[in-house]
Amino acid sequence: MAFNVLIVDDSSTMRSVIKKSIEMSGFDVGRFFEAGNGREALAVLEKDWVDVILSDVHMPEMDGFSFLKALKTQTIVSTTPVVIVTTEGREERLEELLGLGARACVTKPFRPEEIKKILLDVFGMDKDVMEDKEAPEGADF
């Protein structure tokens, strides 16, 4: 199985760092999409099927807060899990993001394992599932 990932961050360096972390975590990624802010992210979602979004908070044009709010109004993509990746350290701001529907928050700098742990959780998988992708035929009835 391959997941499609959308990375939203105004820094292209940070986007490639996040991308690298996900690749290192061993996830089978089908396609990576990138966006520089919330508005660009919505444009990506309009065209392409995304399974998980990793988004920054402080971005020009449309920040993470507005992005989460806008996402809620979209019937098809409103359920797409969003993981916030941010330098924002204030508890109450993070709480607010979770209140807006973010599934989890990761504060920069982060370790690749943190991303991995969160993605496993987002997709409701445990490690066994990942390591045993091809279950033997007939074993799952």
Partner 1 sequence: MRDIKVLIVDDSAIVRKIFTEELSREPGIQVIATAPDPYVARDKIVKLNPDVVTLDIEMPRMDGITFLKKLMNYYPLPVIIVSSLTPRGGKLALQAIESGAVEVLSKPGAAYSVGDMKQQLADKIRAAARARVSRHKDEYSVEDAPVKLPTCALTETTNKVIAIGASTGGTEAVKKVLTRFPPTIPGVIVVQHMPPNFTTAFAERLNGLCAVEVKEAEDGDSVLPGRALIAPGNYHMLLKRSGARYYVCVKTGPMVCHQRPAVDVLFNSSAQYAGANAIGVIMTGMGSDGAQGLSKMRQAGARTIAQDEASCVVYGMPKEAVKMGAVEKVVPLKGIAQQVIDFL
Residue 39 in tokens:
């508005």
CA–CA separation, 64 and 20 (whole Å): 22
CB of 103 to partner 1, least distance (A): 14
Q: Does 26 bind partner 1 (CB under 8 A)?
A: no
Count residues near partner 1 (CB under 8 A): 21
Q: Does 24 bind partner 1 (CB under 8 A)?
A: no
Residues in the chain: 141
Q: Does 51 bind partner 1 (CB under 8 A)?
A: yes
- Residue 3 contacts residue 52 (beta carbons within 8 Å): yes
CA–CA separation, 119 and 7 (whole Å): 13
Q: Does 1 bind partner 1 (CB under 8 A)?
A: yes
80 or 86: whose CB is closer to partner 1? 80
Strand order of the sheet with strand 29-35? Answer: 29-35, 3-8, 52-55, 82-86, 104-107
CB of 25 to partner 1, least distance (A): 16
Q: What are 67's strand-pairing partners?
A: none
The residues in 109-138 that bind partner 1, with binding defined as CB under 8 A, are 123-125, 135, 137-138
Q: Does 76 bind partner 1 (CB under 8 A)?
A: yes
- Tell me how crowded residue 90 is: count the other CB atoms within 10 A of its CB: 8
109 or 141: whose CB is closer to partner 1? 141
Q: Which residues bind partner 1 (CB under 8 A)?
A: 1-3, 30, 47-49, 51, 75-77, 79, 123-125, 135, 137-141
